[in-house]
Structure 1
Amino acid sequence: MLKQTPLYNLHLELGAKMVPFAGYLMPVQYDKGTLHEHLHCRSHAGFFDISHMGQCLILGDDAVQELGQLIPGDIAKLKPGEQKYTVFTNNDGGIMDDIIITRIESGVMIIVNAACKDKDFNYLYKQISGRCCFNELTGQALFALQGPAAAVIMEKFSVQAAELSFMQACGTYIKGIKCNISRSGYTGEDGFEILVDHHYAEQLARLLLAEDDVEPIGLAARDTLRLEAGLCLYGHEIDESITPVEAGLQWLFKKSHDQFPGADKILAQLQQGSEKIRAGLLVQGKIPVRDGSEIFNNEDVAVGRVTSGGFSPTLRRPIAMALLARTAANLGNTLYAKVRAHKIPVTVTPLPFVPHHYYK
């Protein structure tokens, strides 16, 4: 049985095409289409329903210390209201999920991917000791407001939230509705994520959508925005067989921290380099190169595979990310993607494809 977010009826009212996604019925696009939604988010502001994502609390004096042993990053120095992007790793060094941790006065709040939340929460429940309290937040809706107009819009509703810097969070009120708001998102644009009790979800969504610059954005444009920003997607650039080093996430690591799952393999890769690495690809021609396409060098030797690919509305050309042999991932290197009978030239390029506009 597919679940529905608190905004299901509003999505239908707005003309959404609903599709199954991570156990939910979610809007893939609205009447104006994916291309329009993508460009509107880049130029104005987009509203995203991300209530399908998992949310939980780990509370107690030992919450930060115990969670810190499950991740490669440093959260000990986070102050209440500060956030960190990081990953759960398994004993083989692979990525179980990528997550956002928010420090709160009584512990931490964690946002996990929708497709991983049952696995993640079972893992946390088993790993966290009785000195901490684990609470899944099942009665909350989660929205994202993303784009260059997001800050001006947010200032109308909460000056406190509008004054946040990237990866900071606060508790505030919007028209009397209690919210937790962070300055974060996964589009590469400035923006906010808003956590609200599901009873007030539709009321708050309508307030934001009533703003002239705001339009609803579906899953399809959410993915093209994410791809242009060069950001990893679980099940594509990251999974339980790909390490953070291979995924190009070396910046997550805290020096001298070696007490986390898979540390031996991961730390060895940090020192010696990994055999494969995530890279950006600019695709020549008009044929998109999709997830799973094999990549070959000019001697027709396979050197990797595409993890995400599609048409970039901003650049007006196909782009892709791939997991490549490190020897083939030099910037400017020409490789070839095989798509059916076509051999399509691709050029290794820096990430992101479109510059980030985070407010720091």
Structure 2
Amino acid sequence: MRVEINTRYWIPRLAYNAGKHLAVIMSLLRKTLLYETLVQNGGKMVPFAGWLMPIQFDGTSVLESVRHTRRHASLFDVSHMLQCRFSPNSLESLMPVDTKTMRVGAAQYTAILNEQGGIIDDAILTKRESNYTLVSNASRVNAVLALLSDNVSVCENALFALQGTVRLLCGLLSEHQATSLLFMNSLESAEFTITRCGYTGEDGFEISVKPEAAPSMAELLLKDARVKLAGLAARDILRLEAGLCLYGHDVDETVTPIEAGLQWIISKSRKDYPGFDRLSMQMRMGVTKKRLGFTSPEGPLPREGAVITELENGSVVGKITSGTFSPHTNSNISMGYVNADSVEGLKSLANSTSLAVQIRGKQYPISALFKAIPTAALRVPRVTSLPTLLLRQPIRIGLRVKETLSGRELTVGRMEMERGGVRARVWSTTGGEISEREMWGGKWRIADAK
């Protein structure tokens, strides 16, 4: 039996109905306080975690936006993220953080854990005078709020991320305030809160602004010709170049901080956080699944879900969780998890030069780095804090660095650093121990870099 379909009738009708459904869906999505400004500036809005967010902006390609952030500065609207305040009553029952050692104004990257040590969400926790603030992912709002105590209050502020080389906050802070505000620390005023942190691998600030002041604040920040608006696509490339995780892709409730390479967020003085037994065992005995960074010298871009294999025999050993093209290495980069039957087997795989990624039935060689920061060693040296500068270098001991204001040079000796906070010690072979304020407050560069 032959059935003929009147395509001249049905295709336009189906397209019309699809358009109606899309319009309904779009009308249900939330808009940030900066939505009108973003649209007026050419923002291409797309659905993201229940919000309408800019994927990129007219007149600027995604790669141009990435390069601009690295060379100058970009402003990201991240108001879709959950911002809340809560009392410390139930805090330590959720996160492996030692709040007793945190100073008022200090911020810390942390994770909310389930009973198996899996990551319910990752977040930035900041200690205030009488309570705490938490900034976490928009996609996990319901899960996070359900776990916090009843006296939690959701903050409706706008949230901007100013990322790049611009140190002065366009009149918001004095030069002294901007340069003396240490990494992962914050300043709070009546209208806004500024934290020195970010999600791009660059120096920068995240600024939480009262709703009524949000448009004028954005306008003030954009007055600087070096600052341009940027969208989600550029932000994803920037965070992947820096080896930073995206929740729901690189980490989730089935992955522990140890497996994700985030063991530095776990307090050594705590034993009562969720999943303590499993995590302490993993720290002692090792893991058989590990997040790694990869570079791909040839072949198509590895996307999420692509299978990682051994090049020689094709055995499946893992999968890709994030992938993109890196304009700063001019190659494809990605991250993912490799699995093995034993800890030693995992280490052997992680250091192997014979891994491949399977794309459309073909194998393409990839290079793995045991530390999941695929391009950190390839970044151009910048003027920044000494710990941030050193964390980006492939060779740390014996490196000559220079403080740009005083002209002081030193050779780096033994180092002890904690990437998630401000605790760091650096011994110079030429000048003794460097103070924390010198390290984080000074502007350092590689001594022989132009």
Structure 2 residue corresponding to 1:352, chosen from 346, 351, 373: 373
2:172 equivalent in structure 1: 157
Q: For residues 250 and 186 of structure 1, what CA distance do their matches in structure 2 show? A: 19
1:236 aligns with 2:249: yes
CA contact (8 A) 1:58 1:135 kept: yes
Q: Structure 1 pair 196/268, CA: closer, same or farther in 2 (3 Å)? A: same
| Deviation digits for residues 61-97 of structure 1 (CA, Å, limit 9, x no counterpart) | xx1x631221112222111110110101101111000
SS in 2 for 1:11: helix
| 1:76 partner SS | helix
1:36 to 61, 64, 75: 64
| Residue segments in structure 2 that go unaligned for 5+ positions in a row | 1-27, 340-345, 386-439, 441-450
Counterpart residue type for residue 23 of structure 1: G
Which residue type is aligned with residue 94 of structure 2?
Answer: L
Matched, 1:13 2:13: no
Q: Which residue of 2 aligns with 1:129?
A: none
Q: Which amino acid aligns with 1:39?
A: R
Q: CA deviation at 1:248?
A: 0.4
Alignment of structure 1 residues 211-226 onto 2, 5 Å: 211-226=224-239
Gaps (5+ residues) in structure 1?
A: 127-132
Contact 2:290 2:337 in 1 (8 A): yes
What residue is the counterpart of 1:56 in the other structure? 84
User: Residue deviations 1:273-322, cap 9 Å, x none?
Assistant: 11100001111214110111010012211111001111001111100101
| 1:116 aligned partner, one-letter code | R
List aligned pairs for 1:1-360, cutoff 5 A: 1-31=28-58, 32-59=60-87, 63=88, 66-125=90-149, 133-137=151-155, 139-149=156-166, 151=167, 153-154=168-169, 156-159=171-174, 160-172=177-189, 178-297=191-310, 298-325=312-339, 326-349=346-369, 350-355=371-376, 359=385, 360=440
Counterpart of 1:321 in structure 2: which amino acid?
M
Q: CA deviation at 1:155?
A: 6.2
After superposition, the C-alpha distances for 1:87-133 in whole angstroms (9 at most, x for unaligned) are 0110111100001000000111111111111210111136xxxxxx3
Amino acid at match of 2:246: L
Specify the SS of the correspondent of 1:48: strand
CA distance in 2, matches of 1:233, 1:289: 16
Bigger radius of gyration: 2
TM-score normalised by structure 1 residue count:
0.91
State the structure with bigger RCO (CA 8 A, min sep 6), 1 or 2: 1
Distance across 2 between alignment mates of 1:3 and 1:319 = 32
CA distance in 2, matches of 1:236, 1:115: 12
Q: CA 1:328/1:219 → structure 2, altered by over 3 Å: closer, same or farther?
A: farther
Q: Provide the C-alpha distance between the structure 2 equivalents of 1:185 and 1:89, rounded to a whole number of angstroms.
A: 22
Residues in 2 aligned to 1:332 and 1:110: alpha-carbon distance in whole angstroms: 39
- In structure 1, what is the Cα distance between the partners aligned to 2:171 and 2:85? 29
SS in 2 for 1:154: coil
**Structure 1: which amino acid aligns with 2:32?**
T
Task: Give a deviation string over 1:168-197, Cα, whole Å, max 9, x none.
Answer: 001147xxxx21000000101000000011
| Distance in 2 separating the partners of 1:166 and 1:155 | 19
| 3-state SS, counterpart of residue 85 of structure 2 | strand
TM-score in terms of structure 2 length: 0.74
3-state DSSP of counterpart to 1:93: coil
In 2, Cα distance between equivalents of 1:286 and 1:39: 23
Distance in 2 of aligned mates of 1:334 and 1:73: 38
Q: Take 1:163 and 1:172, find their aligned partners in 2: how far apart are those partners?
A: 16
Q: Is the 8 A contact 1:335 1:347 kept in 2?
A: yes
How many angstroms does 1:332 deviate by? 5.0
